[in-house]
């Protein structure tokens, strides 16, 4: 499907630019914005955009919109609270991880989410994977491990603000993000494909919970500082750009998950490693060491191997779609 290919290509570019722009705004000298407020704003924007899309799509404007929302019950809406909670945690952790790790290291290590997504897809959606696909997942894990060992030896990187960065904190944040990404993504896929409600409506529901939970997270983590300095403290046009990019990325992910699945989405974002590594070299003075190149090569090779046509009997439960 050509349109799906286009969405995947846009996702690659969006993903790479999001990581790089977050890294850039978080390592700039001067006043830092509150990451928790940025998460809230992205959810709000995403939900509002989807609400507008539903409004524009429905004939009869407001009445049509009311009917569309009314068709979905409270219990159904509450189901979205689960992936929303996990995504809110993940989106906050993403800021922690990117603030503490060089962009390229984050990007490669974050590919472990392909492994968690595959495991959750097998467990929750009863998908099956061929032997070659499991091998490719191991290769992926090896590639990520090689990059990590190499980064551990060379330290946190030579970017501005490196002194306040902690490799260990970044690593824990990225590992928990990988678990969240797999679980929330597959959970959302299950809800999306298990009913006829539109992807936009699902995102409005996700956005409502995301905004509320994001506000709760903000109050818990940075409440006093936000109260003292203001919600929009440190916001620059670039920060708004990051927020817009995050909201747009959420919509792209939803569309890709609807028309393909989370595993394919993972491959698309893996390709953004190449883009962000090359860009990091220019933007942040990231030096490409041979082990990093080897690890990144393994990750890309694994992505290719995973996507090869299936041969031989599957190792898990019967498939319900590719």
Using DSSP, state whether 158 is helix, strand or coil: coil
Contacting range for ligand C5P; rule: CB under 6 A; set: 144-152, 155-163, 245-253, 297-305? 245-253
Using DSSP, state whether 107 is helix, strand or coil: helix
On the CB side of 262, CA atoms within 13 Å amount to 29
Compute how many residues bind ligand C5P; rule: CB under 6 A: 14
Which C-beta is closer to ligand C5P: that of 47 or that of 156?
Answer: 47
Contacting range for ligand C5P; rule: CB under 6 A; set: 99-107, 226-234, 237-245, 249-257? 249-257
Residue 103 makes contact with ligand C5P by CB under 6 A: no
Instruction: Please measure the distance between the N-terminal and C-terminal CA atoms of the chain and give it in whole angstroms.
Output: 14
Q: What residues contact 5, with CB distance under 8 A and at least 6 apart? A: none
Residue 187 makes contact with ligand C5P by CB under 6 A: no
Site for ligand C5P in 254-283 (CB under 6 A): 254, 269
* Cα–Cα nearest to 290, from 97, 155, 154: 154
Site for ligand C5P in 14-53 (CB under 6 A): 46
Contacting range for ligand C5P; rule: CB under 6 A; set: 161-169, 219-227, 247-255, 273-281? 247-255
The binder of ligand C5P chosen from 68, 143, 250, 295 (CB under 6 A) = 250
The binder of ligand C5P chosen from 206, 213, 256, 302 (CB under 6 A) = 206
- Cβ contact 83:188 at 8 Å: yes
Could you tell me the smallest distance in angstroms from the CB atom of residue 117 to ligand C5P? Answer: 8
Residue-wise DSSP of 129-151: --HHHHHHHHHHHHHHHHHHHHH
Measured from each CB, the residue nearest to ligand C5P is: 250
The binder of ligand C5P chosen from 253, 298, 302, 303 (CB under 6 A) = 253
Could you tell me the smallest distance in angstroms from the CB atom of residue 181 to ligand C5P? Answer: 3
H or E element in which residue 254 lies: helix 237-259
Reported in sequence order, the residue ranges of the chain that DSSP labels E, i.e. its strands, are none
Contacting range for ligand C5P; rule: CB under 6 A; set: 22-30, 180-188, 283-291, 303-311? 180-188
The binder of ligand C5P chosen from 102, 185, 214, 217 (CB under 6 A) = 185
Contacting range for ligand C5P; rule: CB under 6 A; set: 145-153, 250-258, 284-292, 302-310? 250-258
Could you tell me the smallest distance in angstroms from the CB atom of residue 250 to ligand C5P? Answer: 2
CB-based burial, 149-179: b 16+ in 10 Å, e otherwise = ebbeeeebbebeeeeebebeebbebbbebbb
- How far is residue 141's CA from residue 153's CA, in Å, rounded to a whole number? 19
Contacting range for ligand C5P; rule: CB under 6 A; set: 119-127, 158-166, 181-189, 227-235? 181-189
The binder of ligand C5P chosen from 205, 249, 267, 272 (CB under 6 A) = 249
Residue 87 makes contact with ligand C5P by CB under 6 A: yes
- How far is residue 317's CA from residue 202's CA, in Å, rounded to a whole number? 28
On the CB side of 98, CA atoms within 13 Å amount to 26
Which C-beta is closer to ligand C5P: that of 130 or that of 263?
Answer: 263
CB-based burial, 101-132: b 16+ in 10 Å, e otherwise = bbbbbbbbbbbbbbbbbbbbbbeebebbbbee
The binder of ligand C5P chosen from 105, 116, 159, 203 (CB under 6 A) = 203
Chain contacts with ligand C5P (rule: CB under 6 A): 46, 87, 91, 113, 181, 185, 188, 203, 206, 249-250, 253-254, 269
């Amino acid at each position: 499907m050509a349109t799906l290919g286009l969405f995947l290509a846009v996702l690659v570019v969006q993903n790479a630019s999001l990581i790089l722009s977050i890294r850039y705004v978080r390592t700039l000298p001067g006043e830092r914005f509150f990451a928790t407020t940025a998460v809230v704003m992205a959810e709000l924007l995403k939900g509002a955009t989807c609400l507008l899309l539903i409004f524009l799509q429905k004939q009869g404007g407001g009445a049509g919109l009311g009917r569309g929302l009314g068709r979905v019950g409270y219990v159904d809406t509450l189901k979205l609270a689960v992936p929303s909670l996990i995504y809110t945690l993940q989106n906050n952790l993403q800021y922690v991880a990117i603030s503490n790790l060089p962009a390229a290291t984050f990007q490669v290590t974050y590919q472990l989410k392909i492994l968690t997504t595959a495991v959750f897809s097998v467990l929750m959606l009863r998908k099956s994977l061929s032997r070659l696909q499991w091998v490719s997942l191991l290769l992926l894990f090896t590639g990520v491990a090689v990059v990590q060992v190499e980064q551990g030896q060379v330290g946190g990187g030579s970017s501005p603000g490196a002194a306040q960065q902690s490799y260990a904190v970044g690593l824990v944040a990225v590992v928990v993000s990988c678990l969240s990404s797999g679980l929330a993504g597959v959970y959302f896929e299950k809800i999306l494909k298990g009913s006829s409600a539109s992807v936009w409506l699902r995102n409005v529901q996700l956005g409502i919970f995301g905004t509320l939970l994001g506000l709760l997270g903000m109050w818990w983590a940075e409440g006093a500082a936000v109260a003292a300095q203001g919600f929009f403290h440190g916001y620059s046009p670039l920060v708004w750009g990051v927020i817009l990019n995050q909201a747009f990325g959420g919509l792209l992910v939803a569309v890709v998950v609807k028309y393909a699945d989370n595993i394919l989405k993972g491959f698309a974002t893996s390709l953004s490693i190449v883009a962000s590594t090359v860009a990091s070299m220019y933007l942040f003075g990231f030096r490409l060491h041979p082990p990093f190149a080897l690890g990144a090569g393994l990750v890309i090779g694994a992505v290719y191997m995973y996507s090869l046509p299936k041969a031989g009997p599957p190792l898990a439960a019967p498939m319900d779609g590719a």
